[in-house]
């Protein structure tokens, strides 16, 4: 992966891959790549944080290695683990006919090492994209361990010594801000806040992903979704992926404009909780949404 | 990208390659100082990153400059609004910067005049009273009627020949007490007027004034606004913040433990790993503790007369917590305790929930009888109080019979895992409050007068 890095290259590649974004995303990513720093992306769920890592992997035609953050994630699951079963079997097989020292050296070799995402990203002989998704869900101890790895891109395995990355991976960390991340981790990253797109940008996204949707339908969908997101009582705001799914559903139903009854019938595509659906029916309703989407004038 | 050649970073005219490196460095440092004055944490390594980033973008493109500084210096979404305003003020055109300077000088002249006016009034036996600059400005900002009243009082003491110099400290404390009263009453108005500690750079002081003025009109920072002053149109934003904070709180208190040396449940994987050194024979056993049950939450909110200004916040806090956690018992109290859990669990909108709650409850705006309410919680809802229960109290601590309340609070503490108290009384008033002093000996108390207070408390709680 020896692509020359430039903002223009990223702009072109992101567009080719259908990732419609603003200059903020392009320049920040470009800076992260130039400064060889991880990029920390925060923002509400469904704005395309994870997708950006995938797009980066596609842009550089390289592998995406993903580490999903969750409560209880530890070094063994993130970095490496010895293959105990295999080691035990080898001990039993070699008990009689091998010297203990020789056996020990053999047992702690790469053949018995189970690589987890972080080690894999460091050991891969080419530059990969490492996505550490929802890092805010990890415990603080793991976060502290993580920023050590991300500073030096090297890990120490007591039995094998220090392993240093040949190619520093492109690291993307995402967070839904459920927990404040430590200053140490944030200091090591370039920061990007991704919010829901504006109506104009969402129109571009729908056009790129669902080109079959007509001009009018695309605009009405973008306006309708924007209007729904602006309602503070809707708890789970429709994501960009849900907007696209909705557009695809409406195209599949052969509609070229939004209709009140159609909105009601396809509500579950973009509002996935009963509470939000109830709130929508009580406070907005299909007809009103269509009216707002056609007029384009919100409160 | 649109060129914006009229913009130069913080006072330096420049082109991409022609700017002296030192000028860029100086301006980045000054800009960082401005951001730090707004409470944004910026480390040295982040400053170095910013300088490195600036070598990768075109400095004549204002947007690129902004993105580079934002990506390297700002690491919290809540700091973005202050950053945006600071950037616009710092990297403004020469005309706007001149305007900023003019306004600043005008303000400084006014402050000097105000101080002089106060110094002329506050004398005793020909000597100036020992007042701080803030107190002098408070005086100058008083309504004329109050100024006259204070002047009359001072001339009366001056006129009494029997009062000697030993009366001066007493007089000063009377004057300071009166000014402190007015300071509390005119806090918001005075907050904009009172001078901030200088940043040691007059131009930067002027820019900071311009940034803060921006926050005062329209772009106010909700986080630092006293919660009862949050305007109706800002409520959705405030509510979103409260919900996010509620989620932070719930995540913290639901965090569970994993490994343990206590003999509870065998951790097979760790046992095998640790025993490989003994040839696979299970010599040392490793255990893991059972996952702790998620704690039961009990929320008690004060809706008495003294808390009526914070009703909106209290309700949003209950609604926010209920929307992110399923298992929560919610109570409101004034002169008696009332369980309101059911109102918040029907998946209704905020407005509908609140209308129903207010219509069906007699607790709003009553007197505060914390002891009675806590006793009622212990006696009537004892089954909700277990060893894994965390009780959250939202109240300003103002209650009658506070000694009885202390007893009930101690009883409650012995029954539950933890009590967390969010106090809406401003932090500076805690020193003078007997109830705050007494209750904080029993429970963990956190200031909760602004959303920023609440956020700080939650960060503290979440470690």
Task: Inspect the interface and report whether the beta carbons of B53 and A34 lie closer than 8 Å.
Answer: yes
Q: Which residues contact A111 (CB under 8 A, 6 or more apart)?
A: none
CA distance A80 to chain B (A): 13
Q: Which residues of B touch A72 (CB under 8 A)?
A: 258
**Domain-located, residue B230:** no
Show Cβ contacts of residue A296 under 8 Å, excluding neighbours closer than 6 positions: A199, A219, A223
Question: Of B91, B120, B147, which residue constitutes the final position of a domain?
Answer: B91
Residue A32 near chain B (CB below 8 Å)? yes
CB contact under 8 A, B56 and A233: no
B-chain residues near A189 (CB < 8 A)? 75
Report yes or no on B356 lying in a domain: yes
Give the separation between CA B165 and CA A226, rounded to whole angstroms: 71
pLDDT for res B254: 56
- Name the β-bridge partners of A80: A115
Name the stretches of chain B with pLDDT < 70: 1-21, 159, 161-163, 184, 187-188, 191-192, 214-238, 240-241, 244-245, 247-264, 279-280, 289-294, 324-326, 345-351, 360-365, 458-463
pLDDT of residue B1: 37
The whole-angstrom distance between A179's CA and the closest CA on chain B is: 6
What CATH number corresponds to the domain at position B373? 3.40.50.410
Query: CA B376, CA B380: separation in Å to the nearest integer?
Result: 6
Query: Where do we find the tokens 């702690």?
Result: A108
Q: Two tokens at A64?
A: 């995406």
CA dist., res. A13 & res. A3, Å (int): 11
Same domain, B247 and B361: yes
| Domain assignment present for B314 | yes
Asked whether residue B64 falls in the same domain as residue B112, the answer is no
CB A197: neighbour CB atoms within 10 A? 22
Distance CA B294, CA B393 (A): 19
User: Could you tell me the sign of the dihedral formed by the alpha carbons of A123, A126, A127, A132, in that order?
Assistant: negative
Report residue B140 as tokens: 């100058």
Same domain for B247 and B280, yes or no, is no
User: What is the domain count for chain B?
Assistant: 4
Backbone angles phi, psi at A36, to 5 degrees: 55, 45
Collect all residues of chain A within an 8 Å Cβ-Cβ radius of residue B43: 183, 187
* Dist. CA A45–CA A177, nearest whole Å: 10
**What is the pLDDT, as a whole number, of residue B253?**
57
Terminal-to-terminal C-alpha distance of chain A = 49
d(CA B428, CA B307): 17
> C-alpha angle with apex A265: A263 to A271, nearest 5 degrees?
70
Q: Which of B276, B349, B352 sits opposite A87 (nearest CB)?
A: B276
Chunked mean pLDDT (size 10), chain A, 299 residues: 75 92 95 94 92 95 94 85 83 75 77 91 93 89 84 85 89 86 89 94 94 93 94 87 95 91 93 88 90 74
Tokens 């990208």 belong to residue: B1
Single residue among B91, B113, B140 that ends a domain in this structure: B91
Select the residue from A45, A100, A180, A274 to test the B interface by mutation, using most B Cβ atoms within 10 A: A180
Burial B189-203, CB ≥16 within 10 A → b, else e: ebeebeeeeebeeeb
What's phi and psi for A68, nearest 5 deg?
A: -85, 125
Q: Give the chain A residue nearest B40 (alpha carbons).
A: A183
The runs of H, that is alpha helices, within B91-222 are 94-121, 133-140, 144-159, 168-185, 187-193, 202-216
Apex A138 CA angle, A134 and A144, nearest 5: 115
Q: What is the pLDDT of residue A61?
A: 94
Residue B265 lies inside a defined structural domain of this protein: yes
**Closest approach of B377 to chain A, Cα-based (Å):** 30
Instruction: Report the residue from A82, A177, A186 with minimal CB separation from B273.
Output: A82
Q: Are B157 and B306 in a shared domain?
A: no
Partners of residue A68 on adjacent β-strands: A133
Q: Do A282 and B276 touch (CB under 8 A)?
A: no
Q: How far is A77 from chain B (nearest CA, A)?
A: 12
Q: Shortest CB distance from B240 goes to which of A27, A178, A232? A: A232
| pLDDT number for residue B260 | 46
Q: Do A31 and B53 touch (CB under 8 A)?
A: yes
Tell whether B263 and B319 lie within a shared domain.
no
Considering the domain architecture, whether residues B447 and B343 belong to the same structural domain is answered as: yes
Tell me which of B60, B91, B122 is where a domain ends.
B91
Query: Are B77 and A42 within 8 A, CB to CB?
Result: yes
Nearest CB to A178 within list B71, B74, B247 = B247
A 175-204 residues with CB below 8 A of B? Answer: 177-180, 183, 186-187, 189-193
Q: Which of residues 77-116 of B touch A (CB under 8 A)?
A: 77, 80
Distance from CA of B61 to the nearest CA of A (A): 12
Structure ipTM: 0.88
Residue B281 sits at the chain A interface (C-beta within 8 Å): no
pLDDT of residue A51: 94
Is there a single domain that holds both residue B451 and residue B358?
Answer: yes
| Phi, then psi, of B181 in degrees rounded to 5 | -60, -45
Q: Where are the beta strands (DSSP E) in A51-125?
A: 64-68, 80-82, 113-115
- Structural domain harbouring B32: 9-91
Q: Does residue B146 lie within any of the structural domains? A: yes
Write the DSSP string, B238-272: HHHHHHHHHHHHHHHHT----EESSSSEE-HHHHH
B57/A contact by beta carbon, under 8 A: yes
Q: Closest chain A residue to B235 measured between Cα atoms?
A: A232
Could you tell me which of A130, A129, A127 has the C-alpha nearest to residue A167? A127
Residue B186: the pLDDT is 72
């Amino acid at each position: 992966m020896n692509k020359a890095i430039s903002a223009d290259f990223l702009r072109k590649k992101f567009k080719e891959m259908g990732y419609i974004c603003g200059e903020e995303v392009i320049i920040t990513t470009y800076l992260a790549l130039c400064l060889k720093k991880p990029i920390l992306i925060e923002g509400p769920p469904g704005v395309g944080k994870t997708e950006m890592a995938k797009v980066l992997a596609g842009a550089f035609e390289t592998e995406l290695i993903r580490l999903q953050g969750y409560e209880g994630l530890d070094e063994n699951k993130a970095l490496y683990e010895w293959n105990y079963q295999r080691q035990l079997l080898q001990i039993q097989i070699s008990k009689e006919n091998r010297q203990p020292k020789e056996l020990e050296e053999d047992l702690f070799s790469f053949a018995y090492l189970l690589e987890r995402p972080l080690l894999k990203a460091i050991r891969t002989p080419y530059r990969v994209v490492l996505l550490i998704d929802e890092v805010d869900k990890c415990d603080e101890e793991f976060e502290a361990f993580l920023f050590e790895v991300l500073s030096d891109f090297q890990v120490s395995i007591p039995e094998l010594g220090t392993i240093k990355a040949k190619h520093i991976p492109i690291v993307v960390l995402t967070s839904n801000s459920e927990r404040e991340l430590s200053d140490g981790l944030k200091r090591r990253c370039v920061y990007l806040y991704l919010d829901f797109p504006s109506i104009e940008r969402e129109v571009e996204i729908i056009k790129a992903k669902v080109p079959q949707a007509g001009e009018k339908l695309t605009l009405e969908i973008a306006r309708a979704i924007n209007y729904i997101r602006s309602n503070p009582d809707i708890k789970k705001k429709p994501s960009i992926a849900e907007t696209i799914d909705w557009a695809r559903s409406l195209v599949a139903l052969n509609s070229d404009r939004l209709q009140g009854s159609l909105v009601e019938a396809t509500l579950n595509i973009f509002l996935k909780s009963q509470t939000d659906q109830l709130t929508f029916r009580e406070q907005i309703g299909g007809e009103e949404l269509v009216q707002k989407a056609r007029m384009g004038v919100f409160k | 990208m649109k060129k914006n050649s009229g913009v130069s970073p913080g006072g330096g005219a420049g082109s991409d390659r022609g700017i002296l490196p030192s000028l860029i460095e100086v301006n980045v440092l000054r800009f960082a100082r401005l951001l730090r004055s707004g409470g944004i944490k910026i480390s040295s390594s982040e400053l170095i990153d910013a300088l490195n980033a600036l070598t990768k973008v075109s400095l004549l493109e204002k947007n690129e400059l902004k993105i580079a500084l934002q990506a390297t210096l700002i690491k919290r979404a809540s700091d973005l609004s202050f950053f945006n305003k600071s950037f616009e003020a710092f990297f403004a055109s020469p005309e706007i910067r001149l305007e900023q300077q003019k306004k600043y000088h005008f303000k400084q002249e006014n402050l000097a005049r105000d101080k002089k006016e106060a110094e002329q009034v506050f004398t005793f036996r020909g000597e100036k009273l020992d007042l701080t600059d803030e107190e002098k400005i408070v005086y100058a900002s008083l309504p004329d009627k109050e100024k006259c009243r204070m002047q009359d009082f001072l001339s009366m003491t001056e006129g009494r020949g029997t009062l000697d110099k030993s009366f001066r400290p007493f007089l000063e404390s009377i004057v300071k007490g009166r000014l402190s009263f007015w300071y509390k009453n005119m806090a918001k108005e005075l907050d904009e007027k009172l001078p901030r500690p200088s940043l040691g750079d007059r131009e930067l002081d002027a820019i900071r004034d311009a940034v803060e003025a921006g926050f005062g009109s329209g772009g106010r920072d909700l986080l630092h606004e006293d919660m009862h002053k949050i305007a109706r149109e800002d409520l959705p934003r405030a509510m979103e913040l409260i919900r996010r904070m509620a989620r932070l709180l719930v995540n913290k208190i639901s965090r569970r433990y994993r490994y343990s040396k206590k003999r509870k449940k065998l951790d097979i994987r760790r046992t095998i790993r640790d025993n490989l050194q003994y040839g696979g024979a299970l010599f040392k056993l490793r255990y893991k503790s059972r996952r702790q049950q998620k704690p039961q939450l009990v929320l008690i909110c004060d809706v008495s007369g003294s808390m009526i200004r914070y009703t909106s916040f209290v309700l949003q806090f209950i609604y926010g917590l209920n929307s992110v956690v399923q298992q929560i018992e919610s109570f409101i109290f004034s002169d008696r305790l009332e369980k309101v859990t059911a109102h918040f669990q029907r998946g209704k909108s905020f407005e509908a929930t609140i209308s129903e709650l207010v219509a069906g409850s007699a607790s709003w705006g009553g007197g505060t009888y914390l002891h009675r309410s806590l006793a009622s919680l212990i006696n009537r809802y004892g089954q909700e109080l277990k060893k894994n229960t965390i009780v959250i109290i939202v109240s300003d601590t103002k209650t009658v019979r506070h000694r009885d309340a202390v007893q009930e609070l101690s009883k409650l503490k012995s029954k539950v895992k933890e009590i967390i108290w969010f106090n809406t009384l401003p932090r500076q008033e805690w020193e003078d409050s007997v109830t705050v002093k007494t209750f904080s000996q029993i429970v963990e108390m956190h200031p909760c007068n602004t959303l920023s207070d609440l956020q700080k408390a939650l960060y503290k709680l979440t470690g």
